[in-house]
Structure 1
Amino acid sequence: MRIPQLRMESAFAQLGLNVRKPVQEIKQPQAEMNLSQKPAELTIEQAKTELMIDSSQARSNIGIMTPMQFSDSNAAYGREKWLQAIAEKSQEGDRMMRIHTRENAIAEIGREKGMRVFEGGYRPPSTSNDEGVDISIQARPASINVKRNGMSIDPVTRSPELSYTPGKIEPYMIQYNSLKIDVSGSQLDQMM
């Protein structure tokens, strides 16, 4: 006798997914610095340099004198001649005092004075090797002023640009589930 058998065939459901990934885009626009530099101001002031040239000594050396120099020169010449005259008179007095030498001192002195060549009076002082020009320079320093005007910064910031496309998942059925049951070995073969 045949024992009826129960045969089952089953198939699992298969689910498929269509996946669209999300897309996120970030763009960062460049910022602007906007720097501006104002030029510095530089001022330089140069004071005048003083140059003094004194040629009075050089003029005096060649005989061209100022009134004061001429007066001083004449006074020195007069003093010199005065001292010479005093010395000469002193010597003449000493000669006349010596009567024991039997010299006729008065006649001799007169003859010497008569024979003396005329000396010519005033002579200007002799020239010197020194040029006699005094030069002096008084330099004054330069005045330098620097004014810094600085710089200015005016930054412009920009926010990032965001764009987002959300993802999407769409399910679909690849295979539906199924169950087949067969009964065999009985008189009746039936499908259920």
Structure 2
Amino acid sequence: MQIPQIRLQSTPMKIGLDIEQPVQQIEQKAAVQSIEQPQAILEIHTNRGKLTIDQTKAREEMDLKSLSKRVEEFAQQGYQDWLAGMARRSQQGTELRHIERGGSPLADQAKQNSKGAEKQFNLGWLPSYFSVKLDYEPAQVEIKATAQKPIIDAQIYRPEHTYTPGSVNLDILQKNTLDIDFINLYPEETGE
């Protein structure tokens, strides 16, 4: 016995895609930059330091006196010696005026007048401590600095952008089909 059958045969649809990719181009030129830095303005004013060394006292102690100091000392000493000489002569005159009182005033005066002053010896070439006077005024430095701003020049460029959009083309390469067949739908009679 034959059973009726339905036969289905399908063919799927085949699609063809033609894809054109999009193209994007971006070009960015480098910026042109110029930087200039002017030098700072620097002004320096200096008042020089002053060192004063006064060694007058040390030189005097070493008996290396200036001419004016020597003249002043000699004048003072001369005046003192003149006063002492006047006093001595006045006293000796008074002694001679009273010669009748006895003694030997002439011999005593001769002996006194012939005797000089005692000599004094001292190390004259060594000055005392701190006899050299030092005075120092330090230097004064005024510094004035004026900064200069940098000069910046920048030239920028916009990016160059080119875009070509993509596309998709659809093609049907094979259509879908469905074939239906009926087999043994009407059984055949046999002569039995």
TM-score calculated relative to the size of structure 1: 0.60
Q: Please list every run of at least 4 consecutive aligned residues from structure 1 whose deviation after the TM superposition is greater than 6 angstroms.
A: 2-6, 53-57, 96-100, 132-135
Structure 2 residue runs of 5 or longer lacking an equivalent are 187-192
Q: Deviations over 1:27-61 (max 9, x none)?
A: 33323332211122334344455566778775994
Given residue 65 of structure 1, which amino acid in structure 2 is its aligned partner? Answer: L
Partner of 2:173: 174
Residues 23 and 98 of structure 1, relative CA distance in 2, 3 Å threshold: farther
Q: Deviations over 1:124-160 (max 9, x none)?
A: xx99434x98776655323333232221222222222
The question of 1:79 aligning with 2:86 is answered no
SS at match of 1:154: strand
CA contact (8 A) 1:56 1:65 kept: no
Residues 23 and 87 of structure 1, relative CA distance in 2, 3 Å threshold: same
Q: Give the deviation of 1:7 after TM superposition.
A: 5.2
Given residue 163 of structure 1, which amino acid in structure 2 is its aligned partner? Answer: T
Structure 1 residue runs of 5 or longer lacking an equivalent are 120-125, 187-192
CA contact (8 A) 1:14 1:175 kept: yes
Aligned residues with identical type, % of pairs: 25
Q: Deviations over 1:159-192 (max 9, x none)?
A: 2221212111011112113344546556xxxxxx
CA distance in 2, matches of 1:150, 1:81: 82
Q: Give the deviation of 1:19 after TM superposition.
A: 1.9
TM-score calculated relative to the size of structure 2: 0.60
Q: Deviations over 1:102-133 (max 9, x none)?
A: 3132x3355447x72799xxxxxx99434x98
Residues 147 and 127 of structure 1, relative CA distance in 2, 3 Å threshold: farther
